[in-house]
Amino acid sequence: MAYSDKVIDHYNNPRNVGTLDKSKANVGTGLVGAPECGDVMRLQIEVDENQVITDAKFKTFGCGSAIASSSLATEWLKGKTVDEALSIDNMEIVEELALPPVKIHCSVLAEDAIKSAINDYRVKNGLPALELNNSHH
């Protein structure tokens, strides 16, 4: 399988690999996927009092496209408000990384991880969890 230059770049130089303190109230953690499926993504956001995401970290067990999708997601998340982050669509990731059709599910996983991290943050801060009806492509 030929990977795009952008996927290779994120794979070789992943941005924001790491772990945030998940016990903090302003940190949201999303853990999606399953080991048997061959992909597990953990994405974390740290949010300031203005609802702006100041930091984002990921760790991914998965193929190069899954690693690149989550790495790219953390780049995009930083500086966005939580509401803005909610509108990140997996197809934007597909386009940016030039993922082939068989790798679309890797981007879906990244979108799921973002939403799941935001929900974790919301629930921790007394907000209702959002319905994650997956409108994936």
Partner 1 sequence: MLTLPIYLDNNATTPLDPRVLDAMLPYMTTMFGNAASRNHAFGWQAEEAVDYAREQIASLINCSPKEIIFTSGATESDNLALKGVFEMYASKGNHIITATTEHKAVLDACKHIEKLGGKVTYLPVNAEGLIDLQELEAAITDKTILIAIMYANNEVGVIQPVREISKIAKKNGILFFTDATQAVGKIPVDVEADGIDLMAFSAHKMYGPKGVGALYVRRKNPRVKVTAQMDGGGHERGMRSGTLNVPGIVGLGKACELAKQEMEADTARISAMRDRLEKELLTLEESYVNGSREHRLPHVSNISFKYVEGEGLMMGVKDLAVSSGSACTSASLEPSYVLKALGLSDDLAHSSLRFGLSRFTTDEEIDFAINHVKEAVTKLREMSPLWEMFKEGIDLNSIEWAEH
| Footprint of partner 1 (CB under 8 A) | 1, 3, 11, 14, 17, 19, 31-42, 59-64, 66-67, 102, 105, 108-109, 112, 116
Beta-carbon count within 10 A of 75 CB:
14
Which residue lies nearer to partner 1 by CB, 39 or 46?
39
**What is the total count of residues that contact ligand FES (CB under 6 A)?**
8
Cβ atoms of 73 and 114 within 8 Å: the answer is: yes
For position 100 contacting ligand FES by CB under 6 A, the verdict is no
For position 112 contacting ligand FES by CB under 6 A, the verdict is no
Which residue lies nearer to partner 1 by CB, 3 or 76?
3
Count the helices and strands in the chain (H runs, E runs): 5, 3
Q: Is 45 helix (H, G, I), strand (E, B) or coil?
A: strand
Closest CA to 56 of 33, 92, 24, 29: 29
Which residues of this chain interact with ligand FES, rule CB under 6 A? 38-39, 62-63, 65-66, 103, 106
Q: Which residues are catalytic?
A: 37, 106
